[in-house]
Structure 1
Amino acid sequence: MDHFSYRNTNKMVRTHVVVGSRPCCFSCAMEEKDPCVRKAWLELSLRDMHMIRDDTELALTLSFIWRYAMADPENPELPSLGVFECMTRLMKKGLEDVEWVMTGQNVYVPYYAAHIIGSYTMKKPDFATKAVESGVIAPLLELMRRKMSWVEQRVVVRALGHLASYETTFEAVAAYEDEVVRLAMEIAMTCVDVVYEEFVSVQEKEGRVRYHSDLLTRGLGGLEMEDRKAEEWASQLQCWSLHLLNCFAYKQKCISLICNKTFLKELSQMWGGLVNHTSPSGIGLIRILCYSKQGRRHVSGSREMILSLCNLSRSSDDWQYMGIDCLLLLLKDQATRYNVLEMSLFYLVDLVEVKALNVRKNLGDRITKVLLMHYCKTKKGCAYSHKAQKALKELWRNKVERRRRERKFMSKNQDFLRETSVVVYLIKQQANQLLHVGDIEGAIKCYTEAIGLCPLKLRRKRMNLYSERGECYLLLGDVDAAISDCTRALCLSEPVNSHGKSLWTRSRAYDIKGLSRESLMDCIMFVNGRCFRGNIPYYAAQMISKQMEATWLFEKARASKLGRMMLKEKFHLTGLSTITEEPEKKKEGLMMQRKNLDPLE
């Protein structure tokens, strides 16, 4: 029998503990009022927790510790008493003893152990240091290698991301940098397909791994709720993997490895979406890469990446400013400017009248300055194509020279704005009449004339003119011109991206171009900005429904699986075998074996 004595100023408390048992459950120890007794019981419980034989009690205790950690992640009590050493022992036991981890509810142990580590290290660097000194990295890496499943990978990547975020613990993670980066890239590229293939596409409740379902919904809800949570968790797994890569890219480590062509192509399409809207996802990592010369060189060589950045820069997405930042960084670098300018120029010129976006002041002037860099010295664009030269010349004339000219007129003629405003109004009325009788091209000419005359200072009038002309272009089927004009109108709105008519027109134009994500964000902004008194118009609801289906996180995986099934069926009908038959049969056998091993089934 082991026994420990603790003394305080008022009384002697003697606690007798038999190895392998505790005087009370962990939650009771947490409720103990006497600090000395509480500390003794908690320290002993954490030390001997891996020896608990009751798998249900162990799983419930870990669940309790995780909730406690999430409620107060900066509380030093459990970290000081050995919670990290305890979680390390439990993860190692789960990885080394297959029979034990597959007994009862022990299957939950590695998941909760990694989750507790991530929860305690998300805010406090000194907790992260304690975790590293306790040896958490080795078992976390084993789980990241998918020793168990994607469910454990999710919490492991989160924990490693926190450890890699601090100066004091980054090097401990970087000791395995090549493997960690490769694994994080692989997870980011494949996790959506894995979750869909192994969970979402399994439409029978009995076919899904039970503990996965229980973790997702805490045992409540049917397939629909499980699918919703699986989408959220898959998005988190991808975003946390990208955050881990961010930590290395920020330190300019493994840049050439991260900038793999295949990965960059996939990265440009990684979007946290509505299920994970607080994470910048792919664009966050792209911006970090653009801060380094090596990263800019690789990014500028990916056409898919540049096109994605251009589309983002002309959207109402929360991360629009990041897309603009990336393009400006690429344009400022002489080594990458000419690879990027020809494509980005025709997107960025639509943004030159924006005043502020996010916390960036005078953003339109910054964009103008970068686009006209070197051009303003020679007044020629010899290094550019004829189309680019023409666009730069027009930008110089309409933004720089026109501003100077208008300031000069206003200084001499106090009535300049009022007189010009009257002329613009009359031309606009003429355009409206032409539009009313169906002369759309005539209306466009009048709107163009009015825009040319309307002073830059009259931002609201210019906004309405661009919006009306954009609608006319859409009626004629000129989708690109419609998007351009609506973007210019939205840059002039106060606040930016708030003009309802322009948002709705651009949403429809993006829909025609097949840019579902951009169309969805514009439509959501349109609905949020209008007072519909809780009743969203049918046309807007229909658009949102259509684009949400198109941007569903698992849509690509679903289409890919459907294509494989159709191809397989085609080969079977023709009497031919396919190379996918054998792996499918093997996978089915493994799934059956796994199901039989799972005691919760």
Structure 2
Amino acid sequence: MPLADDQEHVLVLSGLFNIALNQPDDPEFPSLGIFECMAKLILRGINDREWLRRDQNVYIPYYAGHIIGSYTMNKVHFAEKAIKSGVVLPLMELLRGKMSWVEQRVAVRALGHLASHERTFEAVALHEVEIIELAKEIACNCFQEVYEKFLSLKEKKRVRYHCDLLTKGLGGLELGNRKAEEWASQLQCWSLHLLNCFACKERSLNLICCKEFLKISCNLWGGLANHRSPAGIGLIRTLCHTQKGRERVARLKKVIENLCNVSRSSDDWQYLAIDCLLLLLKDPVTRYQVIDSVALFLVDLVELKTLRRGQIVGEAITQTLLQDYHKIKYGNLKLKSKKAERAVVEVWDLKVEKRKKEKLMPEQDLKEKQLLVGKLKQEGNEEFWSGYIEKAAKKYTEALDLCTVLKMRKERVVLYSNRAQCYLLLKKAEAAISDTTRAICLSSELRSHSKSLWRRSQAYDMKGLAKESLVDCLTFISSRMKSKHPKTKPVKIPYYAALMINKQMNATCPFNGANSKMYNRHKEKVEQSNGQEQDLDKDMAIHKKNAPGLPTNSSIEELLIENGWKRRKAERAGRRRKKGIRVAVDSHKSECKDFP
């Protein structure tokens, strides 16, 4: 095939692409020399531009790279054959951007699969420094690249074969936009995976642990649809298994803050973030660099019952935090933050002292405490409905102080959730996040803490943490859908949750940064040429139309306005004012089921 010119080559490669994708472990084509053939076709596409422009040959390097990646994904001996056939150099040419971001995507995927096998890693590592630098650049800038080279262009100006590859020839602007975002996400995901392969072997840690890259990587989601993706936090976790990695991460306040936020969220990578923090705390070199800030977050997770690697997560956190308790208690150790010291003492009181006292407490005293807690909760509810939010929060605090740790788990879930609602109304977002996290950790059933998920989503929104707010809101909706039987009653997404999702989807759109950069460049050009401001607005209108997820008028919000939702909400607010209840109290009845 590489030596002959045939219009049917593209059809043949398309068929091989589908076979490799669906049957990557089938030995038939690898035994027939498919790797050598694909390597030569890629090199011919790069070196012979005239041939590449002929017929439909422009598709060939993409298909060839994808075939190599698919066959080397699972089988080590296939990967060894690929190395012997000389696929690394052609893939490196594609990785360098000799063609386009579409071919970079298949190249980084194939190199990642080759680097993940022990026996073929060294062949890839021959280009170690260059691969790491290129993978870092791709991971950080892939959305910018896809936006500028594809999404921001009018449909007629887009590269034709890119559109065909993305949409399988079906065409359509919307489908192309959606697939472009998906492919950009995969490009980032596989770049992080390739870096992770080197980090696992503690190779070139100085390059990977670059200060600026670590700050960016902690915010990289990776492939959202691929739960095996390490994402940025997965890469940081791998680095935290090395001494050099821990030391570099511990120095970066922004990275630690991001890990702390993810550890108290519904993110799929929550436990990776917790692992990172525990690894930093267990290392005597980095422990006292991070404990002042980390302890304030982990104290909310000490009752997390999830089992991970044979150990309850909450217990692992407790043991790690209490390593220095006696030193702190007797004044042998002083932390920089008094709040951190109080957090450690609080963990001791909760997990040790209260449990000891509860075991020795007579049954009659326990019953009396339960009655008193119920009374205080009722008083707190009455204060809340009367509009005295601060007094209600104090009542809930008194009730929580009286609650036993082992016997009154459900009561504590409700009290934490109720107090979080008070903190939301008082605009104390951090306190609300803390209480909702504790309620979620205490609850064993998903449905019982769905209100806490929604309240934490609101609190994160208040702090401007869009990603954490979005994930909590999606989990909240998922919990509602699972808890209701679809045959008896149709599941509806609450209007307030739909608005939140729409808001945070716009805020977390991966192309926002690229859009802003392009807008600024256009603005500078307009200013330099003394052009009309309306020309700039016209250009940006085109970008917003072409690119999905950019901040535009919300279709959900428009629908709600059309249905008179704002008018009905105003009427309900007016009725509450007459009763003396603050307007800030959430209007939807389902959020207040804890209150009688």
Tell me if TM exceeds 0.5: yes
Distance 2:180 2:282 in 1: 41
Higher deviation after alignment, 386-395 or 479-488: 386-395
Q: Does 1:296 align with 2:253?
A: no
Residue 431 (structure 1) aligns with: 380
Residue 143 (structure 1) aligns with: 94
Distance 1:207 1:498 in 2: 52
From 13, 37, 41, give the equivalent of 1:62. Answer: 13
* Structure 1 residues 424-464: Cα deviation after superposition (integer angstroms, max 9, x where no partner): 11110111111111111111111001111111112211111
Unaligned ranges ≥5, structure 1: 1-48, 576-601
CA displacement at 1:75 relative to structure 2: 0.7
Change (3 A) 1:80 1:498: farther
Residue 350 (structure 1) aligns with: 300
**Aligned positions of 1:502-581 closer than 5 A:** 502-531=452-481, 533-573=490-530
Letter of the 1:73 partner, please give it: P
Change (3 A) 1:360 1:540: farther
Distance 1:498 1:560 in 2: 44
Aligned 8 A contact 1:498 1:526 in 2:
no
* Structure 1 residues 227-271: Cα deviation after superposition (integer angstroms, max 9, x where no partner): 110000001001100100010000000111100111111101101
Q: Does 1:163 align with 2:114?
A: yes
Residue 3 (structure 1) aligns with: none
Distance 1:251 1:444 in 2: 51
Residue 266 (structure 2) aligns with: 316
Residue 348 (structure 2) aligns with: 396
Q: Secondary structure at the match of 1:51?
A: coil
Change (3 A) 1:551 1:276: farther
Q: Secondary structure at the match of 1:499?
A: helix
Aligned 8 A contact 1:321 1:357 in 2:
no
From 339, 363, 370, give the equivalent of 1:421. Answer: 370
Letter of the 1:224 partner, please give it: E
Letter of the 1:426 partner, please give it: K
Aligned 8 A contact 1:467 1:501 in 2:
yes
Q: Secondary structure at the match of 1:147?
A: coil
Residue 405 (structure 1) aligns with: 357
Residue 460 (structure 1) aligns with: 410
CA displacement at 1:359 relative to structure 2: 5.2
CA displacement at 1:60 relative to structure 2: 1.1
Aligned 8 A contact 2:192 2:230 in 1:
no
From 108, 117, 125, give the equivalent of 1:174. Answer: 125
CA displacement at 1:221 relative to structure 2: 3.2
Residue 483 (structure 1) aligns with: 433
CA displacement at 1:420 relative to structure 2: 2.1
Q: Secondary structure at the match of 2:171?
A: coil
Distance 2:439 2:525 in 1: 50
Q: Does 1:104 align with 2:61?
A: no
* Structure 1 residues 533-580: Cα deviation after superposition (integer angstroms, max 9, x where no partner): 2421211111111111111121111122223323332343399xxxxx
Aligned 8 A contact 2:164 2:171 in 1:
no
Distance 2:366 2:473 in 1: 35
Aligned 8 A contact 2:114 2:121 in 1:
yes
Aligned 8 A contact 1:427 1:447 in 2:
yes
Residue 540 (structure 2) aligns with: none
Residue 71 (structure 1) aligns with: 22
From 179, 182, 186, give the equivalent of 2:137. Answer: 186
Distance 2:508 2:531 in 1: 35
Residue 73 (structure 2) aligns with: 122
* Structure 1 residues 208-235: Cα deviation after superposition (integer angstroms, max 9, x where no partner): 0011110000111311111110000001
From 222, 228, 239, give the equivalent of 1:272. Answer: 222
Letter of the 1:562 partner, please give it: Y
Q: Secondary structure at the match of 1:567?
A: helix
Distance 1:441 1:104 in 2: 74
Distance 1:97 1:297 in 2: 48
Letter of the 2:440 partner, please give it: L
Distance 1:308 1:493 in 2: 25
From 30, 40, 50, give the equivalent of 2:2. Answer: 50
Calculate percent identity across the aligned residue pairs: 55
Residue 194 (structure 2) aligns with: 244
* Structure 1 residues 70-93: Cα deviation after superposition (integer angstroms, max 9, x where no partner): 111111111111111111111121
Residue 371 (structure 1) aligns with: 321
CA displacement at 1:497 relative to structure 2: 8.9
Would you say how many aligned residue pairs link Structure 1 and Structure 2?
Answer: 522
CA displacement at 1:416 relative to structure 2: 4.3
Aligned 8 A contact 2:2 2:37 in 1:
yes
Distance 1:205 1:332 in 2: 54
Residue 450 (structure 1) aligns with: 399
From 236, 249, 257, give the equivalent of 1:307. Answer: 257
Residue 537 (structure 2) aligns with: none
Higher deviation after alignment, 384-393 or 335-344: 384-393
* Structure 1 residues 354-381: Cα deviation after superposition (integer angstroms, max 9, x where no partner): 1115556321121122112122345244
Unaligned ranges ≥5, structure 2: 485-489, 533-596
CA displacement at 1:385 relative to structure 2: 2.7
When Rg is computed on C-alpha atoms for both structures, the one with the higher figure is: 1
